[in-house]
Amino acid sequence: MISLIDLCGHEKYLKTTIFGLSGTSPDYAMIIVGANMGVQRMTIEHIGIAFYLKIPFYIIITKIDICPKNILKQTMASLNKILKKKKLKKVPMLVKETTDISEMAKKMSNNHICPIF
């Protein structure tokens, strides 16, 4: 059975998030980003925490239906920039089809890619 943790987004829950990540040893972390809100400071914090704890993570982009196209484009560009930074060295991979999921899961084991749904 694969264990997964969804990271709490609000700053006041940061201790809970860190406890959940370090105390439960999840197999994966899911980071949720609202397309209309863009990449927030806590998003960057959660990516860093998952990275330093060596927990593979993937990103879910929500609220695409209510987000203007230019804001979605900015959000995706910000995520790509963050994930490709020198320390992280992640390859962001956009999941477009359900058939991509099994291929991404295989590649996630080396912890070099980051699927974006």
Indicate the pTM of the whole model: 0.80
Residue 42: its pLDDT value, please? 86
The C-alpha atoms of residue 79 and residue 92 are separated, in whole angstroms, by 8
Closest CA to 9 of 34, 35, 26: 34
Q: Which fold has domain 4-116?
A: Rossmann fold (3.40.50)
The C-alpha atoms of residue 62 and residue 72 are separated, in whole angstroms, by 10
Residue 60: its pLDDT value, please? 93
β-pairing, 28-34 vs 4-6, is: parallel
Residue 81: its pLDDT value, please? 95
Give pLDDT < 70 ranges for the chain.
1-10, 13, 109-110
Q: Which residues contact 51 (CB under 8 A, 6 or more apart)?
A: 57, 87, 88
Residue 2: its pLDDT value, please? 54
Q: Among all chains, which residue has been given the structure tokens 């863009």?
A: 38
